[in-house]
Structure formats: structure tokens, C-alpha cells
């Protein structure tokens, strides 16, 4: 069933100033070009001013410096993108999380020694192994694997075929996109100089993701050889990123697709690495 919220309600939710009719009802979000009277939209770049003039959106999120147009509804704030995001989360929360059921699907495998807290959803063919912990409100989509002794925090979302291997730890509100691998073995070998044969070095550590980290599709984070590969709170990794063993990423980092960070590197807080960037080891 479609949910509607009045502009008055959305103004209260977002703390943005409403200019217009508080009784107008909004049910979804869209860009300026495609929006209908029941959609919220936003303007974050002046080059779309013409689109704002022509849009049919029921409300437009703008900043305080944007010229308003008579006859249109506006939510005015310092950060219109954030205002729009809050509206989107409110309107679409039920559509982009959940699988049409709650609880543990009959085809899921949950080890008898695992701890599953209240409000957890575990999808078809997902596996939670021995002594693993999944905290309240977390969603495990189909074919997710949670390894022996791993810990998943509260209100996390693990999308299909993501993997959290043994002893790895996820904080609260962590998102793993499809195919993400947390805790794969670090790339470590010793070479016999006489025979040229490579022998695998055991990777004995783990990976820890702090609160509000998001990992993109098919991104891999290797476990430490000793101790922990660490991604600190608020960091966001794009698809197809490789994080090697013993790396330490600071808070609120942005790591864009096809970036590789070599073993034992350390990055500070609020670092931005663009697409296909590389980082040599032990930096």
C-alpha cells in the first residue's frame, strides 16, 4: 500500500523550512525531469535551474541561495541533498529492505551455537555458522554466509552472496552490497629460492568494520596476517575495491571503484581516493 506524507510532516522530519502548501501529499521521489505532483525532488546544482522551472514535482528541496518560483512548493535548508535523502529514506524504507517475510527462512542454516537476537531476518539458503552472533534488526539476504565466530552488529544489511568469514566483526548499520567478501585470506607467500615454489602463509587475524561502513558489490577486504584489518566508522567503499591485509582506513573515507590499497597501508580520516587509484604497501 502506498504511503503518503504531507509537506508539513516532511518539513518537521527534515527540519527544513517549508515554503508552500503544508497539506500537499508526497508518496515518492524522483529527479526534476521525471517527477510528478506526488514526488519530492531536489536541486543541488545550478545547471539544473531550467529543469526546476519545468518540473511537476510536488516539492523541491533547495538551499537558501536558490531563487524560489511562485506557485511551487519548496523545502529550504543548508543541505538540500541531505533533506532529499531523509525524505527518500522515509518514503522508500519498506521497498529497499526486506524480502516479503520476517524471521528465519526454513531453508536457512543456523548453527545451534549461533546467537540470533530479536528482529533478525535471515533469507533463503543463508548460513550462520557456529558461535557466530547476529544482533537485533539485521537483515541477511539469500545466500549470505556468516562464518565461525563472526559478529554482525545491529541493523546491518547484508545483500545476496556477501560473505563475512570466521572471526570478522561488523559494527552497527553496516551495509554489504552483493558479492562483498569480508575476511578473505591476505595475499602472502614464502618462496623457496631453490625450487621457485610458493608456500602459503597462514593469515591468522581478522577484519573489523566499524559503525556505518558501507562496502560495495564485489569488493574484497583481506584479513590481517596478525591482528586486524580495520575500516573505521563512516567509511564508504565503492564496487570492485581491493583492501589488502593489515590495512587501516580512518573515519569517513571515500574509496572509489577499482582502487587497490596494498598491505599494511594506513590512511587517515576523510581521505578521498578516486577511481583506479593505487597505494603501495606499508605507507
| 25 bridge partner residues | 6
Q: Is 245 a catalytic residue?
A: yes
pLDDT at 1: 63
- What is the Cβ-side half-sphere exposure of residue 43, based on CA atoms within 13 angstroms? 26
Residue at which a domain ends, from 26, 59, 92: 92
Are residues 212 and 181 both part of a single domain? yes
Are 227 and 187 in contact by the 8 Å Cβ rule? The answer is no
pLDDT at 280: 57
**Residue stretches of the chain with pLDDT short of 50:** none
Residue at which a domain ends, from 92, 119, 148: 92
Are residues 139 and 171 both part of a single domain? yes
pLDDT at 3: 85
Q: What is the distance between the alpha carbons of residues 19 and 118, in angstroms, rounded to a whole number?
A: 42
pLDDT at 101: 80
Q: In the numeric block, which cell numbers belong to residue 202?
A: 597462514
pLDDT at 121: 96
- Give domain status of residue 219, yes or no: yes
- Give domain status of residue 31, yes or no: yes
Q: Which of 143, 155, 245, 282 is catalytic?
A: 245
pLDDT at 169: 99
CATH assignment of the domain containing 210: 2.160.10.10
| pTM (two decimals) | 0.81
pLDDT at 216: 98
Domain extent, residue 265, equals 109-279
pLDDT at 2: 77
pLDDT at 281: 55
- Give domain status of residue 217, yes or no: yes
pLDDT at 102: 84
Are residues 155 and 69 both part of a single domain? no
pLDDT at 233: 98
Q: Give the chain's domain count.
A: 2
Are residues 183 and 258 both part of a single domain? yes
- Give domain status of residue 99, yes or no: no
Are residues 160 and 255 both part of a single domain? yes
- Give domain status of residue 189, yes or no: yes
Residue 164 to residues 85, 200, 219, Cα–Cα distance (Å): 28, 21, 12
Amino acid at each position: 500500500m502506498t504511503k503518503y506524507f504531507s509537506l508539513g510532516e516532511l518539513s518537521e522530519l527534515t527540519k527544513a523550512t517549508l515554503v508552500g502548501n503544508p497539506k500537499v501529499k508526497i508518496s515518492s521521489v524522483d529527479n526534476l525531469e521525471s517527477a510528478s505532483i506526488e514526488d519530492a525532488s531536489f536541486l543541488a546544482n545550478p545547471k539544473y535551474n531550467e529543469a526546476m522551472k519545468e518540473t511537476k514535482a510536488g516539492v523541491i528541496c533547495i538551499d537558501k541561495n536558490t531563487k524560489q518560483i511562485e506557485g511551487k512548493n519548496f523545502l529550504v535548508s543548508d543541505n538540500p541533498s541531505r533533506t532529499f535523502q531523509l525524505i527518500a529514506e522515509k518514503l522508500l524504507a519498506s521497498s529497499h529492505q526486506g524480502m516479503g517475510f520476517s524471521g528465519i527462512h526454513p531453508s536457512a542454516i543456523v548453527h545451534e551455537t549461533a546467537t540470533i537476537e530479536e528482529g533478525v531476518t535471515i533469507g533463503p539458503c543463508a548460513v550462520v555458522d557456529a558461535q557466530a552472533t547476529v544482533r537485533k534488526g539485521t537483515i541477511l539476504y539469500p545466500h549470505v554466509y556468516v562464518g565461525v565466530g563472526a559478529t554482525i552488529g545491529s541493523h546491518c544489511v547484508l545483500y545476496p552472496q556477501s560473505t563475512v568469514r570466521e572471526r570478522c566483526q561488523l559494527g552497527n548499520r553496516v551495509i554489504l552490497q552483493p558479492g562483498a567478501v569480508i575476511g578473505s585470506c591476505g595475499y602472502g607467500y614464502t618462496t623457496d629460492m631453490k625450487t621457485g615454489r610458493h608456500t602459503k602463509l597462514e593469515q591468522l587475524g581478522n577484519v573489523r568494520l566499524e559503525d556505518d561502513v558501507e562496502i560495495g558489490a564485489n569488493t574484497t577486504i583481506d584479513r590481517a596476517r596478525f591482528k586486524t584489518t580495520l575500516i573505521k566508522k563512516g567509511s564508504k567503499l565503492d564496487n570492485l575495491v581491493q583492501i589488502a591485509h593489515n590495512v587501516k582506513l580512518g573515519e569517513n573515507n571515500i574509496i572509489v571503484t577499482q582502487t587497490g590499497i596494498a598491505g599494511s597501508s594506513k590512511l587517515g580520516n576523510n581521505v578521498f581516493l578516486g577511481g583506479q587509484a593505487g597505494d603501495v604497501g606499508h605507507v
